Amino acid sequence: MNLTSTALIMAVAGNLSQPAPVDAKVLVAAYARNAEAADRRYMGQRLRVTGVVAEEPALYRRSPLLALEGTGIHDRPVAVLDPARKEELAALRTGQQVTLDCLGNGHVSSTPMLKNCTLVHTDP
């Protein structure tokens, strides 16, 4: 193995550890076009999802839920958040821009589902 191939392997391995960036509306559109193809692309993948909070998180559940704005009122990605971080989630408000690290979890009736999400960034 030469230096070039070693560097290429290391670069690819480094990219695999980073979550793939995706906008919430792009995610919704992909599932609306073809849910099975979107599952092949996103399910089980680490994703860094950026979007706007559509509804304040449902913190009363055992696993808090957060809906992000999608392409319509019924087309919103749903993120299941880490229940241990309810304190920081309580500050989220409708209309606020957020970035989440999540694991793609398929879809329910073409609605993208995300799990094991942690809050990475918020904009006021």
pLDDT given for residue 47 in this prediction: 96
Domain holding 97: CATH number?
2.40.50.140
pLDDT given for residue 55 in this prediction: 82
| Number of Cβ atoms within 10 Å of the Cβ of 34 | 12
CB 83 within 8 A of CB 63: yes
Domain that holds residue 59: 19-123
For residue 4, the surrounding DSSP H or E stretch is: helix 3-16
| Cα-to-chain-centroid distance, residue 68 | 9
The count of structural domains within the chain is 1
Note the pLDDT tens digit of each residue in 34-74: 999 999 999 999 999 999 999 877 766 677 888 899 877 77
Report the distance separating Cα 117 and Cα 54, nearest Å. Answer: 16
Report the distance separating Cα 48 and Cα 32, nearest Å. Answer: 20
Instruction: List the beta bridge partners of residue 104.
Output: 114
Task: Quote the strand ranges of the chain, DSSP E.
Answer: 20-23, 46-58, 65-68, 78-81, 97-108, 111-123
pTM above 0.75, yes or no: yes
In a domain, 2, yes or no: no
pLDDT given for residue 8 in this prediction: 42
In a domain, 10, yes or no: no
